[in-house]
Amino acid sequence: MDIAIVLFDGVDELDAVAPFEVFENAAAEGADLTTTLCTLDGAPTVTASHGLELGSESRLADLSPDLLVVPGGRWNARGETGAWAEAEKGDVPAAIRRLHEAGVTVAGVCTGGMLLARAGLTDGRPATTHRGAVDDLRDSGANVVDARVVDDGDVITAGGVTSGLDLALHVVEREFGADVAGAVAERMEYERQGTVHRGESRTN
Residue 193's SS3 state is coil
55/43 Cα distance (integer angstroms)? 9
CA of 132: how far to CAs of 80, 81, 193, in Å? 18, 17, 19
CA 172 to chain centre: 13
Catalytic residue among 4, 83, 110, 144: 110
Task: Classify each residue of 108-119 as buried b or exposed e, where b means 16 or more C-beta atoms within 10 Å of its C-beta.
Answer: bbbbbbbbbbbb
CA 149 to chain centre: 11
106/81 Cα distance (integer angstroms)? 22
First to last CA, the chain: 15
Q: Is 38 a catalytic residue?
A: no
- Provide the residue type at 8 as one letter: F
Catalytic residues: 110
